[in-house]
Amino acid sequence: MHQFPRSPPATASPAQSSRTNPTRTNNPREPGSPARAISSGTNTPVLSDEPTFSAAHSTTAEEKDVIQRLNKTIQNLFYKAALLILQDRLELPPAYTQKTNQPRVNKWFSLDVPESDVLLPDVRVWRNFDVSVASQPPIMIVDLRISSKDLKDNQTLVVTDEFGKTRYVEDAVKSYYESLGQDFKPGFDIVVERWQFDLDGFTSQFPKNLVSILPKTYKNAVVLFRALFSMLHLLPAWSLSRKSDIGAKSRSLPKLSYRIYEKSQRSLEPGLDGLHIPLPDSDNQELEDYIFETLDTPAGKFKIKVSYRKNCDFQLQTSEATISSRIDESDLFKPSLRRQSNEFEPLLQDLMPPPRRSSRQILQDADQAQQAYGSLSTYHLAGRPIASSPLSTLRAVGAARELNTASPRDSPPSKLLPEHRNVQDSHETPRSEAMPRNIRRTSVTFSPFKSPSLSASPSHLSGEHLPVPQVVPVVGNRSSALTALAEARNPGFNPHTSNFSSTVPTSSTTPLSASPRPTSRHSASYAHRRSQNSLNLGRDDDLGGSSRTSPRPGTAEGNASSGSLNADDDNISEFLKMLDNKKELKSFRSPSESGLAESSARRTSAALSRYSRLRDSNAILSDSVSSSVLGHRSSTSSSRQLSSVPAMVGGASLSTASSPGERMSPRTPHTPAIPSRLSANSIVDHNAHRERNVGMTIPGNEASEGRAESVQSPGIGAIDIPSSPRVYQTTYRRPSSVAQQRLMRFGDDDLGDIAPFENRSTSLGGNREREPLSLSRMLASQDEANAGLIAGPTNQAIESAPMSRQRSTSSQDESGYNIGSSSRGAYRARVASRGHLGRHGSSTSLAGERGSASGGSDSRGGRYSFQRSRDNEDEELLFAMSDFGVAQQGRRSLEEAGRGNNTQT
């Protein structure tokens, strides 16, 4: 009784209930009761105070007929709506009449729509709905979606936002899932429109005048469906329909698919619904709803609601276009990084085995690292393509930088990149996917190359996380730099990064001796260095503004160093062991080398003195630099530690080590002032410092060699006055960003582009020291330096300087290692040899050399002397590396030696 609150039928209701119960398993009363309660509250106008009858108890044929008509109407409200939408959005296969074989047309609601049988299974629930039996029909959901399953292998879905910025959908989905802490599985299912059809306030109690009500319902339904049809073409998703003349002809449209289901069937996790996944990187609300006018029917209120994406500017890109774009933008760098990350672990494990990593690989790594940075930089810039960004940054930096950076990049990348890509891509993609965001972020920060703009963040990142290489892999994953960045940020990388940081310092040392060790570490270190080198390019500028730039580097270094100090210590201890083992070797070799070193040291000292004289004009700057250096030393624990580390290695090494550390520190404090190069340098410095420290410790030999080299180089440089200071400067910078510079040099040597790099470094260094630090000045100085360097002498000078250095070192190390390969090969060889030699023999010979070098620097005096000595040391390290490198080194060393001698004499 209570179920049928209305009085007139009340008498009948009990009877009805009694009837229904026995005859129907689905007692309409129970399910119907709540609906009735609702309907009683919302009473449709038709029902008010009208005599009613229950659909389940229709006795007369007329009532049954009316009920049947009502059923058909309700059924078709659902079905026709779905049919109309899907026929408008999709190409549904037509249905044919059995007899005439003519396409069947659904004429319900005065709208002729071709029938299609493909929908029938999906809409069975609503097409079989019976008001007399069923309770409220389930809410029907029709999703129009773009699924990755519908994309071909060579297709990629992109979405263009209101600003014309294109974004890869899968990347957006991935980042979104990561933001929610959800595991991302490749693929996506983007819902562009969600239609919801509901018969609200369902009732099976109908007025007696139902027959007269139905026409009005039908008439209103006609209007509703006309409005539905009109709206279909005003919604954004219409542009995705191939029937649309607007969007289909201008772009490659993704295939739309549909899904019809009951709302209760799917309990989508909030946020993971394909409709709510944010795609464009904009704060604008992406979804909107449109609610159609409610249609009153005798059985309830029929409601249509559509939630749609405002931006449906989807289109397909072929893999070729995608690959090219991505490669151009970001991929280039990713592969190398990934590779490094992949290689890293094994390398770390196998420190001892001098890698077979060919110098090439190392170079490649370095290149990759640079690229990675570039990618990072790109990320920072646009959040998109990596490649583009680095380029842009380079351009922004200045012609000089461009020359420097371009040469390293161009030369190595062109050769290396492709290979790296292939290898790395395979490796990287998985990682990238697996990589947590944190790592990605870190990687992003790394991008130090862009340092100028990004300077602050990148420096920190770089300092902390060598992970950059890892980041690179991430970038390699695919898509936009953003994803790469995100991946880089992934925490998963952090361990690596930490390792790298720890390893990096070692690697920094390793670079000299690195090759022997763990190619992985070395590679990583190289990578870092190279990345740093790229930074160094910037740094070169920074060098001039070292005081300015120093602040950043100091901070970054401090961070990075602090984080990696422990690991560094471990690594250092390992290195020490290595060195001890190798000392013997060096000792054997050392004698000759030591002699060379001494001679080189003398030369260097002479050169340094010359430079100091030259720089007297810049005394003020030097003062500032010295102060900054002192501050750094005190401030930056890492630098100190590093210096201390070298001390552990050997006294000689210590002096050199200390100098580099000091250099590092000064740079760090000043770095912040200069955004671009300085920042980059600073970043580099961080890594470099570690590396330097390590390198200093390990390569003490190298350092000593480096000094010797520097001496020689100065001698060489002495010939070319401008170039020589530059060389020193480069060395200076190198100390901070020694690794990078080294990398650059290596790359240069390998590529034969050494000259530009050195020029850059030298020019930068000179400029830096002299000039106070404005970016413009830096750039200008760089440009000038580059111009001069590039002009002609630079190459020679550069080559000569490095060559001399290398030669000197090579003379030492090479004695054992000289392979006699081309310059490139020499560098590679150097790397490898460095790994071996640098670590082993360097300790002894280097110590002696360092001592000499230090003495020379001291005699020169001053801060500059220290810095220079350090720079020289850094360069020495690089040179040592080069020295290890065979042929070129040998040749060059001979030549340089000659030159150096000449100069000295």
Q: Which residues form the interface with other proteins (CB under 8 A)?
A: 46, 50-51, 107, 110-113, 207-209, 212-213, 215-216, 218-220, 222-224, 226-227, 229-231, 233-234, 238, 244-246, 292-293
Q: Any idea which residue has 């960045």 for tokens?
A: 485
The nearest distance, CB 213 to other proteins, in angstroms, is 5
- Strand pairing class (189-200; 300-309): antiparallel
The nearest distance, CB 252 to other proteins, in angstroms, is 19
- Strand pairing class (52-54; 205-207): antiparallel
The nearest distance, CB 743 to other proteins, in angstroms, is 53
In Å, what is the CA distance from 19 to each residue of 15, 294, 534? 6, 34, 88
Residue 619 neighbours by CB distance under 10 Å: 13
Q: Which two tokens mark 381?
A: 């810039």
Distance (Å, whole) CA 834 – CA 805:
13
The nearest distance, CB 311 to other proteins, in angstroms, is 15
Comparing CB distances to other proteins, the nearer of 55 and 694 is: 55
Distance (Å, whole) CA 487 – CA 543:
32
Burial string for 382-407 (b: 16+ CB within 10 Å, else e) reads: bbbbbbbbbbbbbebbbbbbbbbbbb
The nearest distance, CB 199 to other proteins, in angstroms, is 18
Comparing CB distances to other proteins, the nearer of 218 and 588 is: 218
Comparing CB distances to other proteins, the nearer of 47 and 654 is: 47
Distance (Å, whole) CA 281 – CA 483:
12
Q: What are phi and psi of 846, to 5 degrees?
A: -60, -45
Beta bridge partners of 676: none
* Three-state DSSP state, 213: helix
Comparing CB distances to other proteins, the nearer of 225 and 827 is: 225
**How many CA atoms within 13 Å lie on the side-chain side of 124?**
3
CB within 8 Å of 23: residues ≥ 6 apart = none
Comparing CB distances to other proteins, the nearer of 14 and 215 is: 215
The nearest distance, CB 84 to other proteins, in angstroms, is 8
CB within 8 Å of 213: residues ≥ 6 apart = 46, 207, 298
Comparing CB distances to other proteins, the nearer of 117 and 245 is: 245
* Three-state DSSP state, 159: strand
The nearest distance, CB 299 to other proteins, in angstroms, is 15
Comparing CB distances to other proteins, the nearer of 224 and 579 is: 224
The nearest distance, CB 74 to other proteins, in angstroms, is 18
The nearest distance, CB 201 to other proteins, in angstroms, is 18
Comparing CB distances to other proteins, the nearer of 111 and 721 is: 111
Q: What are phi and psi of 302, to 5 degrees?
A: -90, 125
Task: Pinpoint the alpha helices (H) of 617-676.
Answer: 619-635, 637-649, 651-670
Comparing CB distances to other proteins, the nearer of 246 and 619 is: 246
Comparing CB distances to other proteins, the nearer of 236 and 591 is: 236
The nearest distance, CB 231 to other proteins, in angstroms, is 6
Distance (Å, whole) CA 92 – CA 90:
6
Comparing CB distances to other proteins, the nearer of 49 and 262 is: 49
Comparing CB distances to other proteins, the nearer of 250 and 776 is: 250
Distance (Å, whole) CA 646 – CA 698:
7
Comparing CB distances to other proteins, the nearer of 185 and 219 is: 219
Comparing CB distances to other proteins, the nearer of 66 and 877 is: 66
In Å, what is the CA distance from 676 to each residue of 466, 629, 785? 20, 20, 17
The nearest distance, CB 123 to other proteins, in angstroms, is 20
* Three-state DSSP state, 509: helix
The nearest distance, CB 363 to other proteins, in angstroms, is 54
Q: Nearest-CA neighbor of 749 among 805, 692, 684?
A: 805
Q: What are phi and psi of 373, to 5 degrees?
A: -60, -45
The nearest distance, CB 130 to other proteins, in angstroms, is 23
Amino acid making up residue 2: H
Distance in angstroms between the alpha carbons of the first and the last residue of the chain: 120
The nearest distance, CB 158 to other proteins, in angstroms, is 21
Distance (Å, whole) CA 386 – CA 409:
13
In Å, what is the CA distance from 785 to each residue of 416, 711, 777, 779, 826? 28, 21, 12, 9, 26
